[in-house]
Amino acid sequence: MHFSRYFDPVKVSGDDAGASHIHSTPQEDGAVSRFRRGLRGYLISSGAMTAKLGIAPSSKPVSLTVFMRDDAIFEQEYRLAESFHPVEIELPRAFEYRVEISGDFKLQVPATTPFIFESSVSRPAWISYSGPHYFYVPRGTRELIVDASPRLSLVIPGQSRRDLHPADRVAGKSYITVKVPAGADGQLWHTTTLTRGQIMLLNTPPLFSFHRTTVFVPRELSESEGLSTNQ
């Protein structure tokens, strides 16, 4: 699914499963998730601000670069340490800034930082026992098309957890289909901390949030569905 790189914040009613954290570990200050093989994210600023993150390499050094269009406005390498490296990024104006992170690492995102990450066909995310991560399923969606290797652990609104594996793929295809129950479209779904491996969202905006309170969707979807932060 193709989507624009212009994002709007939205609030959608429903239960909050809490901020992202790593499985079987105490909740840390700010949401924390663990990734492998790099990550693409976005900082969506409504004006000039200082965006704050924390990053902790798992072993080898990792680099974090922030782009305004094709120009790098922030670039830094981080090495293994006993705690998170604090990251402060000066964002000069309202814009959708692209964030590229290399390697294996833990990422800390405060609720005040407007950050989302991508998990698409071209840029899948490799998540290591972390969640919940929130994503929006548009109105009228009858089935969710995803892929997972080895496991996407998913909570459908109003239902219990469902774990998806390569064995669940449609015969002869490289994707998995999940029926969207009545009333579960136009809602936020979320993953759980049992998610491990490479995941992709194929027919819904492939954008995940660490917090239920900082969810963004592509502007064309926000406008077509009448979504707003006032819901």
pLDDT digits (tens, 9 = 90+) for 153-212: 999 999 989 999 999 999 999 999 999 999 999 999 999 999 999 999 999 999 999 999
pLDDT at 28: 65
State pTM to two decimals: 0.96
Domain boundaries, the chain: 7-225
Contact call for residues 222 and 139 (beta carbons, < 8 A):
no
| DSSP designation for 199 | E
DSSP string computed for 117-156: EE--SSS-EEEESEE--EEEE-TT--EEEEEEEEEEEEE-
Residue 230 has pLDDT above 50, yes or no: no
Calculate the average pLDDT of the chain: 95
Per-residue model confidence as pLDDT tens digits over 145-162: 999 999 999 999 999 899
Cβ neighbours, 10 Å, residue 158: 12
Contact call for residues 44 and 216 (beta carbons, < 8 A):
yes
* Across 73-95, average pLDDT: 97
Cβ neighbours, 10 Å, residue 126: 17
Cα–Cα distance measured from residue 126 to residue 213, given in angstroms and rounded to the nearest whole number:
23
In this prediction, residue 1 has a pLDDT band, given cuts at 50, 70 and 90, of low
Contact call for residues 78 and 85 (beta carbons, < 8 A):
yes
